Amino acid sequence: MKRLPIGILGSGKGSNCRAILERIRSGDLAAEARVVISDVLDAPILEIAREFSVANAYLPPGQFRTRLEPQAEEEVVRMLRDAGVHLVVLAGFMRVLHAPMLRAFPQRIINIHPSLLPKYPGLEAWKQALTAGETVTGCTVHYIDEKVDHGQIIARREVAILPHDTAESLHARIQIAEHELYPVAIGGFCEKYAASSA
């Protein structure tokens, strides 16, 4: 079966990146991680990439806090294309992507968000759900578009909010659900890719 070439972008700890790379290594996910790119020089996600012998790179993001400089975004496109990436997987990437990436990888950039979108987009969504008094939240895999946490939904998984939950305990359970859901969602792309290139 032909393996789906993926590129992973992340800014932080990389726990979803680790979950994906573990599934690839175990043979449960017919993908090949070609490159891991971070906008944070010492992000743990880069260390995880090295641990799994995946090519990795730091990309200086420029002066903006929530997005990449246009030339930096063009550089990400170049790096992903050079690596032969078919699907771009965001794993805790804290910057909004714009035209260069969206044009280069139409309907081929996905993200996972810690809420049941369209509810609670944005930062610390689990805290938003807790504050609102919800009894259920979860995580959502979705396509990236020009708006934050907005694109078409691919898959969701519910997580119950327990009476004594804190933000930390709830977030920990959502992350467990993310680590299960994200590789499953990527698996759907692997199947389509294998079928299209058969």
Eight-class DSSP state of 2: P
Output the 3-class SS for 85-146: CCEEEECCCCCECCHHHHHHCCCCEEEEECCCCCCCCCCCHHHHHHHCCCCEEEEEEEECCC
Marked catalytic residue, from 86, 113, 171, 179: 113
The residues with which 87 forms a beta bridge, in sequence order, are 6
Report the distance separating Cα 70 and Cα 170, nearest Å.
Answer: 36
SS3 166: coil
The interaxial angle of helices 15-26 and 44-51, nearest 10 deg, is: 10
| CA gap 41, 113 in Å, rounded | 23
Q: Is 150 noted as a catalytic residue in this protein?
A: no
Which residues participate in catalysis according to the annotation?
Answer: 113
